[in-house]
C-alpha cells in the first residue's frame, strides 16, 4: 500500500495525513512534486486519470482517489477512534459539515487561487475580477463559520471529527494564498489555535 502525496500547502493530501495521524495509521508516502507537474505525467495519470493527489494504491493495485473517500476506506478498517461520527445523527452531521467545508469555505478559496493568484497564472486562463471577488466571499464564509462556532470547541459541537481536519486544511491553505482569518472572527481564531495545537496538525 502507498499514498501518493504532496507536502504543504496542498490541502487535500494534508487532510489524509492528519486523519492517518489521528488514527495512528502508518502508510508509506510517495512524494509527487506538483510544482514540477509530476501529477500530470503519463505514468501518474495511468493511476489517476484526473492527475490529482492524494491517490491511494492498495497492495492488489486497486486505486482510491479523493481525500474523503480515502479516509472513509481507512475508517471502515480502523473504526476507533471514530472521526466520521459515533452514531447515526453524528455521521449525518459530520457529512453535512464536510459538504459545507467544500462548498461554503473551499469554494471561494479555490476560486481565488485559480483566478487571482500569480502561481496559477501560467496554468489556466484567469478571470481576475472574478478571482478577486472571492476574497470577499471567503471572508463572508469565515464570518458565517464564526457564528456557527459560538459556544463550541469543534466544528460539530464537542466532537473532534473529520470536519475539523478538513476545515483546518482549507483555512490554512487560504492563509497561505493571502486569505487571512478576519480580525473579527474570534471564534474561528480560537478554534484554529486549538486544532493547530493537536500533534496531528503537523502531519
What pLDDT, on a 0 to 100 scale, did the predictor assign at position 103? 96
DSSP H/E element including 65: strand 63-65
Backbone region of residue 51 per phi and psi (left: phi > 0; alpha: psi in -120 to 50; beta: other values): left
Q: Single out the residue of 61, 58, 60 nearest to residue 76, CA to CA.
A: 58
CA–CA dist 56, 53 (Å, integer): 9
Residues lower than pLDDT 70 in the chain: none
What pLDDT, on a 0 to 100 scale, did the predictor assign at position 35? 86
The model's pLDDT over 2-44, given as tens digits with 9 standing for 90+, comes to 999 999 999 999 999 999 999 999 999 999 999 899 999 999 9
What pLDDT, on a 0 to 100 scale, did the predictor assign at position 199? 98
What pLDDT, on a 0 to 100 scale, did the predictor assign at position 124? 82
What pLDDT, on a 0 to 100 scale, did the predictor assign at position 123? 81
Residue 155 to residues 68, 109, 152: CA-CA distances in angstroms? 17, 18, 7
Q: What CA dihedral angle connects 142, 144, 146 and 148, to 10 degrees?
A: -140
Domains of the chain (ranges; CATH) run 2-77 (3.40.30.10), 88-202 (1.20.1050.10)
Three-state secondary-structure class, residue 125: coil
Amino acid at each position: 500500500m502507498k499514498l501518493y502525496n504532496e507536502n504543504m500547502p496542498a490541502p487535500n493530501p494534508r487532510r489524509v495525513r492528519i486523519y492517518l495521524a489521528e488514527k495512528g495509521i502508518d502508510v508509506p508516502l510517495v512524494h509527487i512534486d506538483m510544482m514540477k507537474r509530476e501529477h500530470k505525467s503519463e505514468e501518474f495519470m495511468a493511476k489517476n486519470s484526473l492527475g490529482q493527489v492524494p491517490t491511494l494504491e492498495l497492495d492488489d493495485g486497486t486505486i482510491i482517489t479523493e481525500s474523503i473517500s480515502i479516509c472513509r476506506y481507512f475508517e471502515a478498517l480502523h473504526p476507533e477512534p471514530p472521526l466520521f461520527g459515533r452514531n447515526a445523527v453524528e455521521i449525518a452531521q459530520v457529512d453535512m459539515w464536510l459538504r459545507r467545508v467544500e462548498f461554503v469555505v473551499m469554494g471561494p478559496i479555490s476560486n481565488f487561487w485559480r483566478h487571482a493568484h500569480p502561481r496559477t497564472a501560467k496554468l489556466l486562463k484567469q478571470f481576475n475580477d472574478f478571482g478577486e471577488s472571492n476574497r470577499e466571499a471567503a471572508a463572508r464564509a469565515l464570518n458565517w463559520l464564526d457564528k456557527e462556532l459560538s459556544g463550541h470547541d469543534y466544528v460539530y459541537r464537542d466532537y473532534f471529527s473529520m470536519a475539523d481536519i478538513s476545515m483546518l486544511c482549507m483555512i490554512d491553505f487560504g492563509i497561505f494564498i493571502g486569505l487571512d482569518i478576519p480580525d473579527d472572527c474570534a471564534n474561528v481564531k480560537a478554534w484554529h489555535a486549538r486544532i493547530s495545537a493537536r500533534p496531528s496538525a503537523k502531519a
